[in-house]
Chain A
């Protein structure tokens, strides 16, 4: 490299223009994981797309009429029909012989719960749609109510801890496995803590002619009870504890995992969020729940073999090192 060539860093970015499908100026909260994830997804997907967006925070904060943060054709219809709207778009584009890729965006409420049927139908019929679920583990748009994605023991406004309860009584639904059970070409999880992993998986899914699914773990500072500046750290801890495994499934079979270099105890993740603060009280039930949650993480580590074999530069630590011009997976 010629040491004489100097590029001022302040102009470097403008000299490398990137397509942005969702731009600044939207009204997401400070540190919103979903906003960052949606930006990364649309950036990687490029301009030749059409988006069907479920009702939810993402829809609300990006489109207060007459403003819009979207630079790609975008449509919101209802909460529970996003899979079907996307299917209709795809059928139309197919009839028109266009190659525009249809993206469907939903939160965990719109995906795991109310829109589950329409999603399943879209997957079963094999529409060429990339469905992205921004998973922030509760109904955040209506003010933090539990969803079937809310993790066990988490506090929400409809799963509050009290004399008779220790937060949500049920387990987080294993959505990616259910989606993969449709034997679609590609289903995966990712986390907003790993932008290059998101980019790589979006590009991968974009190249598939058929239904694909990506579930992105996206912290909600308001709903989880942490400072907005800590979103990425906390998302990374969810992965490094084993509570949110980063995996890939093709035609229903597991084909990839992001290994964890050093598994972190779940308490390191839980104690930084208010939604779990009742688990750190002087209460036998709290102690039992913490053991329970550690057991869930250990189970994930075991079934997905998350500690891996040997050293991979693409593990949960290596993937964090993203430097321009340095090692980059995608």
Chain B
């Protein structure tokens, strides 16, 4: 049954359905409503867990890590500065190969201070060794949260579920909140075989010499690559239970035989999809929603891009001094195709700047260029800058 729920409220319900025994978080806009809603569920006796209200995001991630290692399913959530404060712990969690799920309510990173949405925060920790899944709408965020626990516990890798701050977290939509029995049938009780146990004492997080470090990093990399199968399987299996699935690693929308594609991550896909139907372009266009950014689904991407002439990669973050982040990875992945499409790369909607439907013709115009132009922030208003900064 559909219920009108705010994104954060829906996520809090989804988390409760997954029955983590320990939840630890520190409030930060736009993640705050998730923590508040979880607190309320706990206070009302609708969610039985140890809720640890910590004194920082650094401790939030650390409490979740300690709990998972001590044998309990755990959850945390953050955004922006909080993700960056957690960064050291995020690497540590992943390196120890501990199953954990967190929500990143994507927000820009200071300075200049912005509480609004882009994806600079999760992109900043893209190499922490976590699985990163980006959601296009709130129903997907709910379903992905549930899938994330299955993926995490099967792969022994932490999963970051990324949802755009405000655009999703603070937006009311009709949400089908799954039944507890559905989630229970999908998600077995937490069992982490390397959990600490006084009856069988082990040491974890030990010092590793150069004799072993490379092997640890290699196996971590391989585990992420192998996790692609688990991401696909979780999406299919959960789809069989609830009737919704999201394409696994990536999803294509529109004409499959289109010659031109726009690839992006997160809620902007909804805007683009609406734009395609409201103002259909002359050329046939398809959209590619990159759902899994880590692991990066190079092979799946090649399959949906093999016959393209152009692909426009729309970033929600920027690598200053370099340009696109996702764009470079797309370019690298497609370079092994016989006839790789031209990759056009731009960013839009940084720090919460609205992305209107009119962005569609602007993006498609990039493909008119003979050779791809340099990376650009497509919605920058240069008149607002002094001459020397343009």
A-side interface residues toward B, CB under 8 Å? Answer: 47-50, 52-53, 59-60, 62-66, 68, 70-78, 80-81, 83-96, 100, 117-118, 120-121, 124-125
Contacts and interface: CB of A to CB of B under 8 A. Distances in A.
Contacts of A83: 59
A81 B52 CA distance: 15
B63 A85 contact: yes
B72 interface: yes
B62 A78 contact: yes
A87 B196 contact: no
A66 to B, nearest CB: 8
B69 A75 contact: yes
Contact of B198 (A76, A91, A94, A100): A100
Q: What 5 pairs between A and B have smallest CB-CB spacing? A: A88-B66, A84-B62, A92-B72, A73-B196, A121-B55
B67 interface: yes
Nearest to B51: A91
A61 to B, nearest CB: 9
A85 B96 CA distance: 14
A84 B54 contact: yes
B175 interface: no
Nearest to A70: B203
Contact of B56 (A52, A95, A117): A117
A84 B204 contact: no
Given A77-B205, A94-B50, A88 B198 contact: no
6 contacts: A47-B201, A50-B196, A65-B212, A90-B70, A92-B21, A93-B71
Interface in B22-69: 22, 24, 49-50, 52-56, 58-60, 62-69
A264 to B, nearest CB: 39
Contacts, number: 162
A117 B59 contact: yes
A75 B71 contact: no
A65 B209 CA distance: 7
Interface residues of B, number: 43
B322 interface: no
Given A84-B63, A91-B24, A92-B71, A77 B201 contact: no
A92 B50 CA distance: 8
A84 B59 contact: yes
A87 B59 CA distance: 9
B67 A75 contact: no
B55 A88 contact: no
Nearest to B88: A78
Given A47-B198, A84-B54, A92-B22, 18 more contacts: A50-B198, A63-B205, A64-B209, A68-B203, A75-B203, A76-B204, A76-B205, A83-B59, A87-B54, A89-B196, A91-B22, A91-B24, A91-B67, A92-B71, A94-B50, A96-B21, A96-B70, A125-B54
Nearest to A118: B59
A121 B198 contact: no
A92 B197 CA distance: 12
Contact of A125 (B52, B71, B200): B52
B204 A74 contact: yes
Given A88-B22, A89-B70, A77 B54 contact: no
Contacts of A75: 66, 69, 196, 203-205
Contact of B65 (A59, A77, A95, A121): A77
B21 A121 contact: no
A77 to B, nearest CB: 6
Contact of A73 (B54, B88, B202): B202
Contact of B66 (A52, A60, A62, A95): A52
A87 B92 CA distance: 17
A65 B96 CA distance: 13
Contact of A48 (B52, B198, B205): B198
Contacts of B196: 50, 73-75, 89
Among B70, B205, B208, which residue has the most Cβ atoms of chain A within 10 A?
B70
Given A65-B212, A87-B59, A117-B56, A96 B65 contact: no
Given A52-B66, A91-B24, A77 B50 contact: no
Given A94-B50, A96-B71, A121-B54, A65 B197 contact: no
A88 B100 CA distance: 13
Contacts of B64: 88
Nearest to A83: B59
A9 to B, nearest CB: 31
B250 interface: no
Contacts of A74: 196, 201-204
B74 interface: yes
Contacts of B53: 125
A63 B92 CA distance: 17
B55 to A, nearest CB: 4
Interface in B144-191: none
Among A66, A76, A87, which residue has the most Cβ atoms of chain B within 10 A?
A87
A137 B203 CA distance: 27
A76 B206 contact: yes
B12 to A, nearest CB: 18
B287 to A, nearest CB: 40
Contacts of A73: 196-198, 200-203
B89 interface: yes
Given A72-B198, A77-B62, A81-B59, A88 B52 contact: yes
B89 to A, nearest CB: 6
B198 A89 contact: no
Contacts of B49: 95
A180 to B, nearest CB: 19
B66 A89 contact: yes
A43 to B, nearest CB: 15
Contacts of A84: 54, 58-60, 62-63, 66
A161 B55 CA distance: 38
B62 A118 contact: yes
Contacts of B68: 88, 92
Interface in B331-367: none
Contact of A80 (B58, B203, B206): B58
A124 B59 CA distance: 13
Nearest to B205: A76
A87 B89 contact: no
B55 A81 contact: no
B113 interface: no
A77 B59 contact: no
Given A65-B208, A65-B209, A120-B55, A91 B92 contact: no
A89 to B, nearest CB: 4
